[in-house]
């Protein structure tokens, strides 16, 4: 019994769409079991997992789930990228085809496609999300834009005529009376993957260190990226008993955002369409 590239592509697509297993079991299956002696590689069951940070303009880490196989002159390579939904299958046969060829061909295809997909995704994100969101009744607004970094940039955030970002320190437990300017002009907003056709949950990441503080700490240790601590800062900034980093988009029939809601402030702001 044999498999074609179409079979393999269908198989991998179904994995990423959680059709083979439940979402929780799929996530568990895609976890690595152990690390290797290199920074960029780990081993799963049965995955050969590589991490790259040089394929997109923002230098973010992308995990490549690959698997190669060899049997009596037949070579195969396959790869899945959960971040993008991209799946690649390469099959080869004959004395001139080696397992190295199949693996390299798979990786070369990914290296060619990811930058183009990233550029297309940015254009799509700009059309779907960028702009100003306003609720005139409560005096609330925020602006979403894109730059060369990851995610969306959230700036100019006001809630009931109150400037939120300069006063972020006040929303941390034990610092409610802190009147010092946080110095934060913008934060980044990321999708959580929890969504349907009409709604989606996103999370903001609030920086905890200034560039100067991060540089100082980095200079005091040899541990790589030790100041990357925002991953455990979710739900640290609280208002009304709710996390301030939790936002919810509402989509229109065309898939574009029509509003964004701050769950903590319980304010829904409508997207302002620019006139051509």
Assess contact for 208 and 229: CB atoms under 8 A: yes
What pLDDT score does 175 carry? 76
> 268 and 255 in one domain?
yes
Structure token digits, residue 173 = 């437990």
> 109 and 187 in one domain?
no
End-to-end distance of the chain based on CA atoms, in angstroms?
58
Q: What's the whole-model pTM score?
A: 0.85
Query: Is the torsion defined by CA of 177, 181, 186, 190 positive or negative?
Result: negative
> 181 and 121 in one domain?
no
Nearest to 75 by CA among 54, 101, 56, 51: 101
Query: For residue 142, what are the β-bridge partners?
Result: 133
**pLDDT band for position 176 (50/70/90)?**
confident
Nearest to 16 by CA among 53, 76, 59, 65: 65
> 236 and 169 in one domain?
yes
Last residue of a domain, one of 126, 146, 176: 126
How far apart are the C-alpha atoms of 233 and 212, rounded to whole Å?
Answer: 19
Last residue of a domain, one of 126, 149, 175: 126
Residue range(s) defining the domain that contains residue 182: 130-272
How far apart are the C-alpha atoms of 78 and 90, rounded to whole Å?
Answer: 6
CATH code of the domain containing 82: 3.40.710.10
Q: What is the pLDDT of residues 217-263, one digit of tens each?
A: 999 999 988 888 888 888 889 999 999 999 999 999 999 999 999 99
Query: Is the torsion defined by CA of 162, 163, 164, 169 positive or negative?
Result: negative
Assess contact for 132 and 140: CB atoms under 8 A: no
Nearest to 114 by CA among 153, 66, 60: 60
Nearest to 153 by CA among 202, 210, 209, 84: 202
Mean pLDDT, the chain, integer: 92
Last residue of a domain, one of 126, 152, 168: 126
What pLDDT score does 276 carry? 41
Structure token digits, residue 184 = 């934060």
- Number of domains, the chain: 2
> 185 and 119 in one domain?
no
Distances (CA, A) of 86 to 55, 82, 101: 14, 7, 20
> 39 and 139 in one domain?
no
How far apart are the C-alpha atoms of 211 and 199, rounded to whole Å?
Answer: 34
> 170 and 261 in one domain?
yes
How large a percentage of the chain has pLDDT more than 70?
Answer: 99
Residue 274 predicted with pLDDT over 70: no
Residue 208 predicted with pLDDT over 90: no
What pLDDT score does 123 carry? 95
> 107 and 152 in one domain?
no
Residue 181 predicted with pLDDT over 90: no
């Amino acid at each position: 019994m044999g498999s074609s590239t179409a079979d393999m592509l269908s198989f991998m697509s179904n994995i990423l769409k959680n059709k083979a297993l439940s979402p929780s079991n799929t996530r568990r299956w895609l976890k690595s079991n152990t690390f290797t002696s290199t920074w960029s590689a780990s081993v799963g069951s049965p995955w050969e997992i590589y991490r790259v940070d040089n394929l997109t303009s923002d230098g973010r880490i992308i995990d490549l789930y690959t698997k190669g196989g060899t049997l009596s002159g037949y070579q195969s390579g396959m790869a899945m990228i959960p971040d993008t939904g991209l799946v690649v299958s390469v099959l080869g046969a004959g004395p001139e085809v080696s397992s190295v060829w199949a693996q390299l061909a798979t990786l070369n295809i990914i290296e060619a496609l990811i930058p183009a997909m990233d550029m297309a995704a940015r254009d799509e994100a700009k059309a779907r999300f960028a702009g100003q969101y306003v609720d005139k009744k409560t005096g609330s607004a925020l602006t979403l834009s894109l730059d060369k970094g990851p995610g969306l940039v959230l700036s100019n955030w006001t809630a009931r005529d109150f400037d939120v970002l300069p006063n972020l320190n006040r929303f941390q437990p034990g610092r409610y009376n802190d009147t010092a300017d946080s110095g934060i002009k913008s934060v980044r907003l990321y999708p959580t993957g929890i969504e349907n056709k009409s709604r989606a949950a996103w999370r903001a990441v609030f920086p905890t260190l200034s560039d100067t503080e991060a540089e100082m700490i980095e200079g005091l240790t040899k541990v790589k990226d030790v100041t990357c601590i925002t991953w455990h800062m979710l739900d640290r900034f609280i208002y009304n008993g709710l996390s301030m980093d939790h936002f919810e988009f509402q989509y229109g029939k065309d898939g574009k955002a029509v509003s964004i809601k701050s769950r903590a402030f319980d304010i829904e702001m409508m997207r302002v369409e620019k006139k051509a």
